[in-house]
């Protein structure tokens, strides 16, 4: 890796938890300078503006979180067991980056304003749902999951419930809502089995 | 009603959709003056500051939304039918006030900052869950709902799923996630029946 690229990646890795914890408005280029020890010129050599850096930071945070939840998924046999594993992982650790789930944080943050971030969040949710729907579909094809199961609806349910319960857990400052969602979803996933 | 009280209520009713749509930071006392036609002095005679007005506006928005969803609940027979009705109502109209569910909006808005609003949101979610858990409990007592159903978990599930799917619907600018959540929850609620 070239030195420029390495510096760029170091900036993104340092900025990711800052944006994830404090939001787009709550994190300044000054904060990123402090976290990286770089001067203003050093930062702007790599990123045209804060929006570009925030977008990269979001992509990085999301990729790390997806990796944390999915990196040993291939070792698990069967669609139902894989879905259960994904729910367990989310409940145990919604994020690989300090500050919680980057999708939820950025969704909240970009809700009214930042269009680029909003688009990235929408893409992140879409890929997550697609991955889940594909797993359900594979289970249907193999006969493990009932033929009458609507893969898209299951995917929507999992994502809505995990993100919704995470939001409530955060407001309540308690893991209760998230853990209850985990239990409910495991029952729901078990109910997908055929026979 | 005294004239002062009527004016106060008129201010709250005018401010509620503004705060619900634009958030605490995004709505100024100037905006409320414009919406009510009152002068600054007239506004501050009724409210010490913007925080006090925003809190009243949130209470008003939430009360209106709860009323919209629950005002004919007593006419419905049975806990399961009541739960179904509440889910239907939420999916059809998450809010009585322009801007969407006041709980979700204010939760998002108050997430990092405003402690008073955050406390009100927490209280709103708690009452909502308590009302739902009470309905489930009544169904268990009457034998309509299975004895092994965990009322608190059902309540957590309904709230997390409705709010989570509403959030995703908003990001996606589509009612899909909300409507899928409605279908999933109706199946889940039907599954609570004993026998």
Taking only the tens place, the pLDDT of each residue in A15-59 is: 999 998 888 878 899 999 999 999 999 999 999 999 999 999 999
A28: three-class secondary structure by DSSP: coil
Cα A60 from Cα A19, distance rounded (Å)? 11
The domain ranges of chain A are 3-190
Partner-chain residue, chosen from A125, A162, A176, that has the shortest CB–CB distance to B156: A176
With an 8 Å Cβ cutoff, are A160 and B157 in contact?
no
With an 8 Å Cβ cutoff, are A170 and B111 in contact?
yes
- Span B87-111, average pLDDT: 82
**Chain A contacts to B (CB-CB under 8 A):** 22-23, 26, 107-108, 111-112, 118, 121-122, 125-126, 152-153, 156-157, 159-165, 167-168, 170-172, 176-177, 180-181, 183-184, 188
Residue B1 has pLDDT above 80, yes or no: no
Residue A151 has pLDDT above 60, yes or no: yes
Nearest CA in chain B to A165: B160
Higher pLDDT, B98 or B140: B140
End-to-end CA distance of chain A: 53
Please state, as a whole number, how many other Cβ atoms lie within 10 Å of the Cβ of residue B194.
Answer: 14
Name the token pair of A167.
């939001």
**What is the per-residue pLDDT for A110?**
62
Residue B16 has pLDDT above 90, yes or no: yes
With an 8 Å Cβ cutoff, are B118 and A23 in contact?
no
Mean of the per-residue pLDDT values of chain B: 90
Q: Report whether CATH 1.10.220.70 matches the domain B3-190.
A: no
Name the token pair of B138.
């009544």
Higher pLDDT, A136 or B66: A136
Residues of A in contact with B26 (CB under 8 A): 112
Cα A177 from Cα A189, distance rounded (Å)? 18
Q: Which residue has the tokens 């808005």?
A: B109
**What is the per-residue pLDDT for A15?**
96
pLDDT in tens, B55-81: 999 999 999 999 988 888 999 999 999
**What is the per-residue pLDDT for A113?**
62
**Three-point CA angle B152, A81, A152, nearest 5°:** 75
**What is the per-residue pLDDT for B161?**
94
Comparing A104-118, B4-18, B150-164, which segment has the lowest mean pLDDT? A104-118
With an 8 Å Cβ cutoff, are B165 and A152 in contact?
no
Q: What percent of chain A has pLDDT over 70?
A: 97
- Span B85-110, average pLDDT: 84
- Span B155-177, average pLDDT: 91
pLDDT in tens, A92-135: 987 888 888 888 888 776 655 678 888 898 999 999 999 999 99
């Amino acid at each position: 890796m070239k030195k420029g690229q390495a510096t760029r990646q170091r900036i993104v890795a340092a900025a990711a938890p800052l944006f994830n914890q404090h939001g787009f408005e709550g994190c300044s280029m000054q904060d990123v300078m402090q976290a990286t020890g770089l001067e203003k010129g050093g930062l702007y050599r790599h990123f045209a503006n804060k929006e570009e850096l925030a977008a990269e930071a979001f992509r990085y945070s999301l990729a790390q979180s997806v990796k944390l939840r999915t990196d040993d998924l291939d070792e698990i046999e069967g669609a139902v067991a894989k879905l259960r594993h994904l729910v367990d992982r989310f409940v145990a650790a919604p994020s690989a980056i300090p500050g919680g789930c980057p999708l939820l944080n950025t969704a909240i943050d970009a809700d009214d304003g930042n269009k680029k971030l909003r688009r990235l969040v929408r893409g992140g949710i879409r890929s997550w749902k697609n991955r889940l729907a594909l797993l359900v579909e594979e289970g249907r094809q193999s006969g493990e999951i009932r033929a009458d199961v609507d893969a898209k609806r299951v995917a929507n349910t999992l994502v809505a419930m995990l993100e919704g319960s995470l939001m409530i857990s955060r407001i309540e400052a308690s893991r209760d809502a998230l853990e209850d969602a985990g239990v409910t979803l495991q029952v729901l996933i078990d109910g997908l089995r055929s026979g």
